[in-house]
């Protein structure tokens, strides 16, 4: 279908440049997903208690299916926008907006949550530097209790630096991820090995399982928080349009990332329960991995501070991916008429979406300030993070299933395993069994988030409703339908994307598949 020029804002403007390499693509994902355990370990321990390893493993299994779905979709459709683009293409403009608003919530919370957590690990060193713990700065401001203005100020400084970094360009911010990420992976691996060798006591793990098993409510709450340990695969698809040879690179980087992060998350939770009582981690939700490292005999004196520095670094680059993700997502939404084309403006020198960086990093700043007005900034932000992730991922699974039926001719360099061959309108379609299982798993976690999170079930839907108000106003002001889709020339766009990505083999396959489809349509007339 032809696309009306009015409905394709941003045509003819500067495009994002392809500067992300294989290692850079992997590190964009690891920077986000790999950092999550540093945040989630203490929060999950506080609720899952002796069942923490089980909770991480269950969330990890759902995460693997999410990862496989994103691998298939990002390799087939290497366009900035990630889950929102997949949903728009499969289900239409309105549902693409819903997924986009949920994932945008996640990205802005990502900025606030991980910058806050990074500052928390930095504060591990505060007693050594000034002789005071960060908790000593807690105060009361009017009706707000347990406010920590020093921690909040540290977080805002980190966010400010990240804004500057991302305006400079994807190459510079990707370089930061690559260097720090390499150090993090090597150090985490060494930490896990040494902890299992010198500190882990399986009898303590069994004891806590038998005597400290949580209530049903706490188990559900812990499970819904544990999913944030695996949020971030969206980052790889968000920079797919800036990745060199994405259809070739993304399957390799995504699958490697999936199992790397799963192993680390389960390993840290299992180590934690076999080294210290879960209460130790619950009392130190701002730097739980540093507490774990400090408890390792022989090396704890060095490992604790080193793990704190490591946590600060990996969380810093995870906050960085939040800015990149939100800016690329809104860049895409502007180009497809979901939001104003004002957002898709690219800096003439640095080729970065400067307006979206400033606007949505600014929202991250606001969320940071508001979260510090609650009793626990970390828990508040984690609540919101879990809601946005599970809603967005549920929509992605539905879109994956729909696209298997509506666009069977699109080349898919990677497909989720366990498919059933079906006949649909005279065509052979591979029905994704794992896609259905993954959708049920994620929607179950979404239900638990709404059921158990007081803040998440109010603020999360409120965010989506607020975004819908803007979406409805913008579409109406442009004379566009609110609940129906405008016309999109997906086929031309797919060819353009594959051509710009230099995926010429896939481009040729796509053209042949379309020609065969058109031939059959003529024969049927």
DSSP label of 428: E
Of all residues in the chain, the percent with pLDDT exceeding 70 is: 89
Residue 476 has pLDDT above 50, yes or no: yes
pLDDT of residue 473: 94
Element (H, E) at 431: strand 427-432
Ramachandran quadrant class, 519 (left: phi over 0; alpha: psi -120 to 50; beta: rest):
alpha
pLDDT of residue 12: 43
Most confident of 243-252, 350-359, 506-515: 506-515
What is the torsion angle, in degrees rounded to the nearest 10, for the CA atoms of residue 328, residue 330, residue 334 and residue 339?
Answer: 170
Q: How confident is the model at residue 240 (pLDDT cuts 50, 70, 90)?
A: low
* Residue 283: burial class (beta carbons within 10 Å; 0-12, 13-18, 19+): middle
pLDDT in tens, 70-110: 989 988 988 877 889 999 999 999 999 999 999 889 889 98
Most confident of 24-28, 181-185, 209-213: 209-213
pLDDT of residue 176: 61
CA dihedral over 415, 416, 420, 424, signed as positive or negative: negative
Residue 367 has pLDDT above 80, yes or no: yes
Q: How confident is the model at residue 2 (pLDDT cuts 50, 70, 90)?
A: very low
> Which of the pair, 124 or 3, is modelled with greater confidence?
124
Tally helices (H) and strands (E) across the chain. Answer: 20, 4
Among 23-37, 53-67, 286-300, 463-477, the minimum mean pLDDT is found in: 23-37
Structure tokens at 129: 């530097």
Is residue 121 within 8 A of residue 286, CB to CB? The reply is yes
pLDDT, average across residues 318-334? 78
Among all chains, which residue has been given the structure tokens 């900025």? Answer: 111
Residue 316 has pLDDT above 90, yes or no: no
pLDDT, average across residues 148-156? 94
pLDDT, average across residues 394-416? 94
Is residue 344 within 8 A of residue 204, CB to CB? The reply is no
Q: Is 118 helix (H, G, I), strand (E, B) or coil?
A: helix
Q: How confident is the model at residue 30 (pLDDT cuts 50, 70, 90)?
A: confident
pLDDT of residue 13: 46
Residue 477 has pLDDT above 50, yes or no: yes
Spell out the domains of the chain, with CATH numbers in brackets. 5-488 (1.20.1740.10)
pLDDT of residue 519: 85
pLDDT in tens, 413-430: 999 999 999 988 778 899
Nearest to 449 by CA among 279, 114, 225: 225
Among 146-160, 210-224, 322-336, 355-369, the minimum mean pLDDT is found in: 322-336
Q: How confident is the model at residue 20 (pLDDT cuts 50, 70, 90)?
A: low
Ramachandran quadrant class, 152 (left: phi over 0; alpha: psi -120 to 50; beta: rest):
alpha
Which neighbouring-strand residues pair with 147?
Answer: 139
Among 163-177, 215-229, 312-326, the minimum mean pLDDT is found in: 163-177
> For residues 117 and 158, what is the distance between their CA atoms, to the nearest angstrom?
11
pLDDT of residue 169: 66
* Phi/psi at 20 (5° precision): -95, 125
> For residues 451 and 8, what is the distance between their CA atoms, to the nearest angstrom?
40
pLDDT of residue 22: 62
pLDDT of residue 344: 66
pLDDT, average across residues 380-390? 89
Q: Is 459 helix (H, G, I), strand (E, B) or coil?
A: helix
pTM, entire model: 0.86
> For residues 60 and 260, what is the distance between their CA atoms, to the nearest angstrom?
11
Which neighbouring-strand residues pair with 243?
Answer: 20
pLDDT in tens, 448-467: 988 888 888 888 999 999 99
pLDDT of residue 289: 92
pLDDT in tens, 258-278: 888 889 889 999 999 999 999
Most confident of 124-128, 129-133, 351-355, 464-468: 464-468
Radius of gyration (C-alpha) of the chain in whole angstroms = 23
> Which of the pair, 481 or 24, is modelled with greater confidence?
481
Structure tokens at 519: 């031939």
Q: Is 420 helix (H, G, I), strand (E, B) or coil?
A: strand
Q: How confident is the model at residue 4 (pLDDT cuts 50, 70, 90)?
A: very low
> For residues 422 and 434, what is the distance between their CA atoms, to the nearest angstrom?
15
> Cα 391 from chain centroid?
12
Q: How confident is the model at residue 354 (pLDDT cuts 50, 70, 90)?
A: confident
Element (H, E) at 146: strand 144-147
> For residues 337 and 315, what is the distance between their CA atoms, to the nearest angstrom?
33
């Amino acid at each position: 279908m032809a696309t009306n020029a009015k409905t394709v804002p941003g045509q003819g403007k500067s495009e994002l440049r392809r500067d992300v390499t294989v290692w850079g693509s992997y590190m964009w994902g690891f920077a986000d997903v790999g950092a999550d355990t540093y945040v989630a370990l203490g929060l999950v321990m506080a609720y899952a208690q002796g069942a923490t390893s089980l909770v991480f493993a269950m969330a990890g299994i759902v995460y693997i299916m999410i990862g496989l779905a994103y691998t298939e979709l990002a390799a087939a459709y290497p366009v900035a926008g990630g889950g929102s683009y997949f949903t728009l293409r499969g289900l239409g403009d309105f549902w693409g907006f819903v997924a986009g608003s949920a994932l945008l919530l996640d990205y802005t919370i990502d900025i606030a949550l991980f910058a806050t957590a990074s500052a928390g690990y930095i504060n591990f060193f505060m007693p050594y530097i000034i002789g005071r713990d960060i908790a000593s700065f807690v105060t009361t401001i009017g009706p707000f209790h347990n406010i920590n203005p020093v921690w909040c100020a540290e977080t805002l400084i980190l966010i400010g630096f990240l804004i500057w970094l991302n305006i400079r360009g994807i190459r510079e911010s990707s370089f930061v991820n690559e260097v720090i990420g390499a150090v993090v992976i090597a150090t985490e691996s060494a930490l896990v090995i040494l902890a299992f060798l010198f500190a882990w006591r399986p009898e303590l793990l069994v004891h806590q399982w038998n005597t400290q098993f949580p209530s049903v409510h706490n188990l559900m709450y812990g499970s819904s928080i544990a999913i944030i340990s695996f949020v971030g695969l969206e980052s790889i698809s968000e920079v797919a349009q800036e990745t060199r040879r994405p259809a070739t690179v993304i399957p390799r980087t995504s699958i490697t990332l999936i199992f790397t992060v799963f192993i680390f998350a389960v390993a840290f939770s299992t180590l934690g329960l076999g080294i210290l009582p879960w209460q130790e981690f619950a009392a130190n939700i701002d730097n739980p991995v540093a507490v774990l490292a400090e408890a390792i005999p022989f090396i704890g004196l060095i490992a604790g501070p080193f793990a704190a520095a490591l946590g600060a670094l990996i969380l810093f680059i995870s906050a960085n991916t939040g800015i990149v993700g939100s800016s690329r997502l809104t860049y895409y939404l502007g180009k497809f008429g979901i939001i104003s084309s004002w957002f898709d403006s690219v800096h003439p020198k640095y080729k970065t979406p400067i307006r979206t960086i400033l606007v949505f990093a600014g929202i991250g700043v606001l969320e940071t300030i508001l979260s510090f007005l609650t009793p626990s900034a970390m828990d508040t932000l984690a609540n919101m993070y879990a809601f946005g992730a599970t809603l967005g991922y549920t929509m992605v699974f539905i879109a994956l299933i729909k696209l298997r039926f509506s666009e069977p001719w699109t080349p898919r360099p990677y497909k989720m395993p366990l498919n059933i061959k079906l006949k649909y309108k005279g065509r052979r379609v591979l029905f994704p069994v794992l896609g259905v299982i993954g959708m049920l798993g994620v929607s179950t976690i979404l239900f638990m988030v709404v059921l158990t999170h007081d803040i998440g079930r109010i603020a999360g839907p409120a965010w989506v409703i607020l975004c819908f108000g803007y979406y409805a106003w913008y579409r109406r002001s442009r004379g566009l339908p609110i609940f129906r889709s405008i016309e999109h020339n997906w086929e031309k766009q797919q060819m353009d994307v594959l051509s710009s990505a230099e995926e010429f083999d896939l481009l040729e396959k796509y053209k042949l598949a379309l020609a065969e489809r058109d031939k059959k349509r003529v024969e049927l007339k």
